[in-house]
Amino acid sequence: MIKKILIIALKDLKLAFRDPTALLLMFVAPIALTMIMGFAFGGSDDGPAIEHIPVVVVNHDSGQFSPFLMEALQSAELDDLLDPTLLDTDEAARKAVDENRAVAAILIPDGFSDAIMPAGILDRDVTAEDISTIQDRMPAEVLIYGDPASQVSVFVVRSVINTILMDFNSSSKVGELVFGQMLSNQTLSIEQLQNLGEDEFQSLLSPVIDSNPVVLTTLEVNPSSQQTFNWLSYTAAGMAILFLMFTMTSSARTILSEKQDGTLPRLMISPTNTFSVISGKMMGVFFIGLAQMLVLILASHFLFGIQWGRPLDVVVFTILVTAAAASWGIFIAAISKSPGQVSSIGTAVNLLFAAIGGSFVPRFNMPEWLKTASLFTPNALGIEGLTKLVEGGSLSTIQVPILGCLITIGVLLTIATTSFHRQYQ
């Protein structure tokens, strides 16, 4: 019996792959839409050459070190790499990133220079309070508010800032901070410092510059979350499942088409029992969908460089999502009375599922109640699971999508199988 079920299923799979129109809808259309939508709304992390990165800069510091940072960002050496714009407030800078007018906002806080060296030490105008401030100082920080959809560009900006800050560690100005620590340890008094000649001052300063660099910290803050978001991987998952649903409806529709054409009744009177025929047709729908999903996942990996995650986890979850989508297609065919009705109901259901399941609009932009309610759709389940696998998750971290797929398969296939056997007994 199992052999007959597989023969019927493989027959339908071969017929589907011989139809040029079906192949266009199954593979070419989703890949093309993924490319258009993915690159239009942010592209991949591995995009074209990095140049003229739009950044906005807000400088709240009035000390002696922030001008060096500002000068470096606007230097001729970085002219081809960065395109900086000065703004007055953090709110304006963050808004520029949120509205995609800048890749990153560089925020220099008030007290940045004093965190490196209290004012006055450069001129040897030192007080006991300055010494106390040096010992209790916090690390100097520059905040980078980055667009999570442009990780490579944000990484470049962060690297540039780190390089500039590291230059402070090798400058005489940073050495003067460490020199202040020597004063606090009473190896040199304030009066002795003030009376030193210039040559003596520099010779005393230089040995400590290399041995005690100041600690500088660069922070990165993403506007929406701490997780990486890649438009291409999200769009690839959304488009693959959207077209999978249409394929499943179209494939399940052939059950009624064969009934209407007389092919199915003739098959029923053969030595093959009704259960094997119906099961074979349903298995064929699943095989077609699984082949489609696996081809699209491999194509998006090689064409767009999408890393879907651990291969075994991706394959297992793809099988579950495909079975859930096939269950909906078979269920619609089971409750319909004609091929035309399957097409009408299927189109309406697929568009509704795509709208609320995240194929058209990112799920993180939806209200919480809708994100939860939409988990009965293969679109939401598939997108939720695949995007988490892309982010480095495993089957153990996508238990909700897996459970949703299993419930969908169990409930819908039970109803569809019962309905079909009543019709064809």
CA-CA-CA-CA dihedral for 387, 392, 394, 400, to nearest 10: -40
Print the domain residue range for 99. Answer: 53-221
Q: Is the pLDDT of residue 333 over 80?
A: yes
β-pair partners for 57: 86, 106
d(CA 294, CA 315): 8
> If you average pLDDT over every residue of the chain, what do you get?
78
Burial class, 198, CB count within 10 angstroms (exposed 0-12 / middle 13-18 / buried 19+): exposed
Residues 216 and 235 placed together within one structural domain of the fold: no
Contacts of 250 by beta carbon, 8 Å cutoff, 6+ apart: 22, 25, 329, 343, 346
Residues 375 and 250 placed together within one structural domain of the fold: yes
Q: Which of 176, 198, 221 is the last residue of a domain?
A: 221
Which CATH number is 61's domain given? 3.40.1710
Token readout for 327 is 């269950």
Q: For the residues 21-49, what does the mean pLDDT come to?
A: 72
Q: How many domains does the chain have?
A: 2
Residues 295 and 205 placed together within one structural domain of the fold: no
Q: What is this structure's pTM?
A: 0.58
Residue scoring higher pLDDT (222 or 335): 335
pLDDT at residue 41, rounded to an integer: 62
pLDDT band with cut points at 50, 70 and 90 for residue 355? very high
Residues 208 and 355 placed together within one structural domain of the fold: no
Residues 70 and 131 placed together within one structural domain of the fold: yes
Q: Is the pLDDT of residue 387 over 50?
A: yes
Q: Has residue 47 been placed in a domain? A: no
Count CA atoms within 13 Å of residue 51 on its CB side: 5
Q: Has residue 406 been placed in a domain? A: yes
Residues 10 and 59 placed together within one structural domain of the fold: no
Q: Is the pLDDT of residue 47 over 60?
A: no
Q: Has residue 274 been placed in a domain? A: yes
Q: Which of 169, 191, 221 is the last residue of a domain?
A: 221
pLDDT band with cut points at 50, 70 and 90 for residue 73? confident
Residues 217 and 247 placed together within one structural domain of the fold: no
Q: Which of 184, 202, 221 is the last residue of a domain?
A: 221
Encode pLDDT of 231-250 as tens digits. 788 899 999 999 999 999 99
Encode pLDDT of 51-70 as tens digits. 788 999 999 988 777 888 88
